Structure 1
Amino acid sequence: MRYYKLIEMKNILIYLTSTLLLIGLISSCSTEYETSSITGWDYNNSKNGGFQKVPYAEQETGPGLILIEGGSFTMGRVEQDVTYENHNVPRRVTVSSFYLDETEISNFHWCEYMYWVGRTYTEYPMVYKKSLPDTLSWREKLGFNEKYVEYYLRHPAYRDYPVVGVSWMQANEFCRWRTDRVNEFILIREGILLMNPNQQNEPFTTDAYMAGQYEQGLNPQGQIANLDPSKGGYDPTTGKLKEKERATRNVRMSDGIILPRYRLPTEAEWEFAAYGLIGNTIDERVIEKRLYPWDGHWVRNPQENFQGDMLANFVRGRGDYMGVSGHLNDNADITAPVYSYWPNDYGLYNMAGNVSEWVLDVYRPLTSEDADEFRPFRGNVFKTKVLNASGAVDEKYNITVYDIEGIEQYITEFKAEREDKVGVGERTYGYVKKSRLDSVEKELLIIIDQYVKEAKDLLKNKQVIEASNKIQEIFDQVFEDFELQVEQDPSLSGYSIEISPMLRAGMSDYILNTPGNVMMRDVTAEENMKRSNYRIADNIDYLDGDLKSSIKHPGDPDYNSARIDEFNSGKFNEDFVMYQRGKESGYGNNPAAKLTTLISDKSRVYKGASWKDRAYYLNPGARRYLEENRSSSAIGFRCAMDRIGSPSGLDAWQ
């Protein structure tokens, strides 16, 4: 019996030894590839399908950016509500880690952008016109600021000063351009693209490249090997790979090479970064509540070497913009260079003073009571790429796409201003009622109206490209043909059409997309029927501006069918139930029919104080708003970028 047990133990030992040896052989044979922890199959091995795992350590920090480690903080008012707006109730929220520009975007940065746009869109000069800041924003009715109108943007003396006169829409276009230029440079640096300075009217865009629709700058020697054996290079009869016949592919998101988009920071992100609470926190204790981006309730530097110097660029009191001659305290009559003054504890400059800054959010008075506690934001309009019949990403735009309804509204307002139309019994506020619209200009506007009408008809049939081509004809043909017609008319000798350049510049503001961009569309309710988190694309009015959140909600259809019919028939505009941003036809001609609020879906928040503001607005919790297509000599911006992965950096969680 003992003998059999010894034999059995010996067999077990041999079995274990053989098993360990076999495991060792298998391991030694597969050291070339990393294996899956759930299937045991090799990664990066074309012989078993070629599923790829690339080495990845950390997100690359984009040019000009600083990592802002996120966290929880009290967002909202910390100063007295002297304006009694009650639109910023304090509440605790959490902001994820993100990146933010070290400084505001400077004039030189913007000139670089304009130069690129001007030399790239040679067939679309209106795109360049749209990129021009409003230098006339410096003018004041009772102030002499012409030197800033003429010199501030382009003169090298102001090269490092923050760009101003830029609308929210222009700032977003800059962010889009910057995303594409940075990612293009990364791909050139990695040898995937060749340097291609001549991209006239068909520039590199990140989305087009990722969709496989950018071919002109590819480096034949630097493409990434496609490990999928079905794409080429693998002979199934012999089981061998032929490297020279292996297919190549574009960079994918999973390669970790492409950076996320540059964008404007959200209001919560900007406010969190401005406080710089990382500098006065011990463990999880904020040891001192901040009123400004620095400790204390004062605005002068308490350090011995700099005692008394202003910590930011703002108005100290009535008529005091820079101090007394002989000791110009903040040394800035208007804006100051972007690296002026002391940075906050994140290393960010001018988060208080110099210029106010655009943020991404749509303004609503009650956002502080409605928004999520995690990454709060109002302004979501969810979009998706346009797909063709086969389900692939549709061809990118090869024309300029216009906001046709916006152009129609602009033309209507332009004619009203040009004619100085004033309603019966309304005041003219000191302006003489005099029409500047002559018969020749009226004829031009009639022609433009006809083109816009035809474009709208095409748009109703979802012929977006054809509709925008019709608007493009106004720029390419109508203006020039009409001007030629006037020149050839003997009765109009010496006549100059004043409104043509005005209309060119004004209509250029309504460009939605430029050649090279991938087609996008709003999501629809029918494709989101099974979702519980959202259904429709436009969520700007959610809980503050939509019909459901208003006192005019009709309620139960069984008892309020007449009221529901008024909304369904268009007698009353559902978008105006809380914020009446236009004429309400349901009220006829009485005062209730007219605009009752300055708040609209196009009202955007801007944060921080500027060189024109008092110390009250130095507090990061202060918030104001302006229409997204308007600008000011006191508003600039800086860009942000999402942080992907660990909030604190490389393997910080360990």
Structure 2
Amino acid sequence: MNILKRYNRNRLMGLFSLAILIGFTACKSSTAIYKAPNVNAFRGGKLPAPPGMVYIPSGTILFKGSLDSGNVGKNVSVSAFFIDEAEVTNKQYREFVNWVADSVAVTDYLNDGQYFLEIAGEQVGQKRINWAKVKKISPIWKSNDPAIQERIAPMLEMQGNRRSLNPEMIKYRFSYLQSKGNVKKKYVTDTVSVMPVEDIWTKDFPNAQLASLDANYFTHPSFDYYPVVGVTWRQARAFTDWRANEMAATVLKNSYLNGYQLSLSLPTEAQWQYAASGKVDPQDTIVGMRMTIDGTEGKKKLAVNFKQGEGTYSRDGATFTLPVKSYMPNAFGVYNMAGNVSEWTLDAYSPSAVVFVNDLNPALLYDADQRDGDALKRKVVRGGSWKDNGEQLNSETRNYSVDYEPHSYIGFRCVMSAFEMPTVQSKTRKY
């Protein structure tokens, strides 16, 4: 009996030791998940940005309402993000227009199997465009092939002796999460005509000789790197959706951002003001608009494109817009946040917005329906333009335009969410 007890006790001890050994081995193999790098490894706190963008670290600004609102403002903080280093150009926006026109031509008019991918298991009626094939003849609407021209004729119209796209036929469809104040958010689909208003110059300034800009500004290669204008807020937002899809499929596919849930949009006005200020903290002395020295006269001149006085436009080097990388960038590496063109932001306009918004990543969002009045369609416009006086160039100055109204002095740029890199402030130290 004692022998049997001893046997059972030894057997149990053996099994217990084996369990401990197995558990210890398993723990040893998974210990790597508990090892976190020291924050010193991240010193520098700056991420490589996608092409055409710069990284803006998190920071704080003094956010104010409109001058007549009587509000002195409050400090708000903005998380890290990427922003276009320059305004969206005519060349970039033409790429968007041509992509939409190619999509319409292939799906609605050519309907030719050679331009579609064959995908096993795809439902009847669903087709995917073979962009590798389409890009060989893109833009299709400029093709000189008589057969193609005949089939896509409804897409085109003549402007004088020039063939052009019919704005009513070139539309982009996309979905977004609609925000309407305290109303429950929901996904809606919008269809937007993407063609800019090319004769916007004479529409804005009917008593000025600007017909040559109407005819050439958006289409001629001489203006490739000038900021696109004549674009509504809704068109600008459509562009950000298209660009997000393009970046996800191409630029970010093989980068460290692969798999990152992409969020591309117009900047909120807080993001815009922070990027324009060129400083991380309201107490910093770095200014957003750098000064240059005129070596001949030894005087300081503001490096920005604006109206210097009544009838005086040319002293800064231009009488209207300039290429988007003219002058020097600010301390963040961002060009022309003041002057050149004013810029659309994501926010709905309210004189007292500072009262309503949060103090972290503030945004006042309202996506108006067609039946809403113009007061609900007002969107914040930031930064003075080529036709504005100097007082409009302050990074805190706010203005607005309705979301369906384009102008020759309003453009835009895009922002993209970024994960925050620990900076030198958060490095590991001894208490």
Question: For the superposition of Structure 1 and Structure 2, which TM-score range results when normalised by the shorter chain?
Answer: 0.5 to 0.7
Tell me by how many angstroms 1:268 deviates. Answer: 0.7
Q: How does 1:232-631 map to 2 (within 5 A)?
A: 257-278=259-280, 286-288=283-285, 293-294=288-289, 301-302=292-293, 307-323=299-315, 330-379=316-365, 406=370, 581=373, 600-631=375-406
The amino acid across from 1:150 in the alignment is A
Deviation of the 1:258 alpha carbon = 3.8
Partner of 1:158: 223
What displacement does 1:137 show? 1.2
Cα 1:118/1:73, change in 2 over 3 Å: same
Distance 2:71 2:379 in 1: 15
Query: Which deviations, in whole Å up to 9, do the C-alpha atoms of 1:388-444 show, x marking residues without a partner?
Result: xxxxxxxxxxxxxxx9x84xx7xxxxxxxxxxxxxxxxxxxxxxxxxxxxxxxxxxx
* Counterpart code for 2:63: M
CA shift in 2, pair 1:260/1:164, >3 Å: same
User: In structure 1, which of residues 56, 73, 76 is the aligned counterpart of residue 61 of structure 2?
Assistant: 73
How far did 1:352 drift? Answer: 0.8
1:63-122: CA deviation from partner (whole Å, max 9, x where unpaired) = 2221111222212279xx5xxx33764221111111111000000001111111111122
Q: Secondary structure at the match of 1:135?
A: coil
**In the aligned structure 2, how far is the partner of 1:287 from the partner of 1:36?**
40
Q: CA deviation at 1:271?
A: 0.4
Contact 1:314–1:613 at 8 Å: present in 2 too? Answer: yes
Q: Is the 8 A contact 1:314 1:614 kept in 2?
A: yes
Map of 2:198 onto structure 1: 135
2:124 is the counterpart of 1:61: no
Q: Judging by fraction of residues, say which structure has more strand.
A: 2
SS at match of 2:376: coil
Deviation per residue, 1:356-414 (Å, 9 max, x gap): 00000001111122221111111156xxxxxxxxxxxxxxxxxxxxx9x84xx7xxxxx
| Distance (whole Å) between structure 2 residues aligned to residue 172 and residue 648 of structure 1 | 31
RMSD, aligned α-carbons: 3.6
Q: Contact between 1:262 and 1:641, CA under 8 Å: does it hold in 2? A: yes
CA distance in 1, matches of 2:252, 2:278: 34
Q: 8 Å contact 1:138–1:146 — kept in the other structure? A: yes
Spell out, residue by residue over 1:563-609, the C-alpha distance to the aligned partner (whole angstroms, 9 max, x if none). Answer: xxxxxxxxxxxx8xxxxx4xxxxxxxxxxxxxxxxx52211010001
Q: Quick one: which amino acid aligns to residue 173 of structure 1?
A: A
Gaps (5+ residues) in structure 1?
Answer: 1-13, 38-57, 191-254, 324-329, 382-402, 410-574, 576-580, 582-598
Q: Secondary structure at the match of 1:286?
A: coil
* TM-aligned CA distance change 1:149 to 1:648, over 3 Å: farther
Structure 2 residue aligned with 1:22? 21
CA–CA distance in 2 between the matches of 1:287 and 1:144?
A: 44
How far apart, CA to CA, are the structure 2 residues paired with 1:601 and 1:358? 16
Distance in 1 separating the partners of 2:102 and 2:339: 35
Seen in structure 2, the aligned counterparts of structure 1 residues 90 and 352 have a Cα distance that, compared at 3 Å, is same
Partner amino acid, structure 2, of 1:367: A
Percent pairwise identity: 31
How many Å apart are 1:294 and its aligned residue? Answer: 3.4
d(CA) in 1 for partners of 2:220, 2:51: 24
CA contact (8 A) 2:226 2:321 kept: yes
Q: CA deviation at 1:59?
A: 7.5
> Cα 1:649–1:128, aligned 2, differ >3 Å: closer, same or farther?
farther
Query: Are 2:157 and 1:115 equivalent residues in the alignment?
Result: no
Q: CA deviation at 1:651?
A: 12
Q: Which residue of 1 aligns with 2:84?
A: 101
Task: Using the TM superposition, give the Cα deviation of residue 337 of structure 1 relative to its aligned residue in structure 2, in angstroms.
Answer: 0.5
Q: Is residue 240 of structure 2 the alignment partner of residue 175 of structure 1?
A: yes
Note closer, same or farther for the CA distance 1:648–1:26 as it changes in structure 2 (3 Å cut): closer
Contact 1:186/1:258, CA 8 A, preserved across alignment: no
Q: Cα offset for 1:62?
A: 2.6
Shift of 1:312: 0.1
Q: Which amino acid aligns with 1:618?
A: L
Counterpart position of 1:469: none
Q: Cα distance, 1:320 vs. partner?
A: 0.8
Q: Shift of the alpha carbon at 1:629?
A: 0.7
One-letter identity of the residue aligned with 2:225: D
Secondary structure of 2:375's counterpart equals: coil
Cα distance 1:34–1:148, how it changes in 2: closer, same or farther (>3 A)? farther
* Aligned match for 1:144, one of 204, 209, 220: 209
Q: Could you say if the C-alpha distance between residues 648 and 354 of structure 1 is closer, same or farther in structure 2, counting changes exceeding 3 Å?
A: farther
- Structure 2: gaps spanning 5 or more residues: 1-12, 35-45, 109-154, 156-167, 172-192
Question: What letter matches 2:64 in structure 1?
Answer: G
1:450 aligns with none
Instruction: Flag the structure with larger Rg.
Output: 1
Deviations 1:231-281 (A, max 9, x none): xxxxxxxxxxxxxxxxxxxxxxxx952441210000111001100114xx6
CA shift for structure 1 position 308? 4.0
Q: How many residues end up aligned between the 2 structures?
A: 321
Residues 93 and 27 (structure 1), Cα distance of their counterparts in 2 relative to 1, 3 Å cut: same
Q: Could you say what secondary structure the match of 1:67 adopts?
A: strand
For residues 132 and 100 of structure 1, what CA distance do their matches in structure 2 show?
24
CA distance in 2, matches of 1:636, 1:88: 28
